[in-house]
A = this chain, B = another copy of it.
Amino acid sequence: MNSFGRIFKVSLFGESHGDSIGVVIDGVPEGIALEREDFLFDIGRRAPGLKGTTARKESDEPVFLSGIYEGHTTGAPLAVVFRNENTRSADYAQFDAMPRPGHADFVAAVKWDWENDPRGGGHFSGRLTLPLVAAGVVAKKVLEDIDIHAELIEVGGEKDASRWEALLEAAAQEGDSLGGIVECRVDNVPIGLGEPFFDSVESLISHAVFAMPGVRGIEFGDGFRAPRMKGSEHNDPFGPDGPAKNGAGGVNGGITNGAPIVFRVAVKPTSSIAKPQRTWNFKDKKMDTLSVKGRHDVCFALRTPVVIEALTALVLADLV
């Protein structure tokens, strides 16, 4: 379903090549100052134009349909839309016969019986993360002092950021793509957020994060290193000011313990690559060669930190 949250609740809609995409945000407290400018910074962080991101010029101007009156939220649902422009639908015609490896083309066609909008990934497009970022801006306002910061810590297996540009360029030359790892850290978290048994903080954050296309894994605190540690190493003893270390990533028993929430997200390499791939042609019923032309990110992970912040903000705004 296209809604998330119980109290602070977002409903997402739109296909990348339809009229518009947007989001309805319900449960926004009244009286929050909110204007167009508040959205531009985060929207800009998601925008293409960085090295390794797509050359498409997207229309990223938010239009507010409801929920704001004289510069403040009203308590009624807030609807924000973005018009779609600058799409080249013809780019996508061939994928009916040859669904792109790594994409939802195939499963969407089966699930919706070939009635879905195939253009630009339709409702699966990464473009849907744009209204999410807008919802995240609102959520961050609700969270006030809670500070969410995500950043890329690895590209193509390389941790040293000074080498990323060369890697991206090389991959672009080959017509190939790279993945990355994003780390997100939340500071000033009140103790006690999380609603076990089923709505642990990790459950909610991972639920939200795996909604972002292209995520392959998530780990909190020591993450996949934890099973290789002993209890005496992994446990976080308490000190006078709370946990003295943070192997748990800020969460015990599904509930925040006052330490920063820390988690990492594995983002796959972009699926759309120019490099020829041998794959099945469903029309001709034979193996065939596919080269995905279009304009695509070499490494879309570069644009995801702000999306992960937004998703985290949605979860926390629903909990506080």
Contact = CB atoms under 8 A, between A and B. Distances in A.
A215 to B, nearest CB: 7
Interface stretch (A35-43, A46-54, A74-82): A74-82
Interface in A74-96: 74-79, 81
Nearest to A75: B112
Nearest to A104: B253
The complex is assembled from copies of this chain, and their number is 4
B66 A14 contact: yes
A18 interface: yes
Given A18-B66, A210-B203, A217 B219 contact: yes
A67 interface: yes
A228 B197 contact: no
A24 interface: yes
A103 B252 CA distance: 6
A6 B194 CA distance: 16
A107 to B, nearest CB: 4
Nearest to A128: B197
A207 interface: yes
Interface of A: 1-4, 6, 9, 11-15, 18-22, 24, 26-27, 30-31, 63-69, 72-79, 81, 99, 101-104, 106-108, 110-113, 115-117, 119, 121-124, 128, 154, 156-157, 171, 174, 176-181, 191-192, 194-200, 202-204, 206-208, 210-211, 213, 215-224, 226-240, 243-244, 248-249, 252-257, 266-273, 275, 277-280, 282, 285, 287, 301
16 contacts: A12-B197, A21-B65, A30-B116, A66-B123, A76-B116, A76-B123, A102-B234, A124-B254, A157-B228, A179-B229, A181-B227, A199-B211, A216-B222, A216-B224, A227-B267, A231-B273
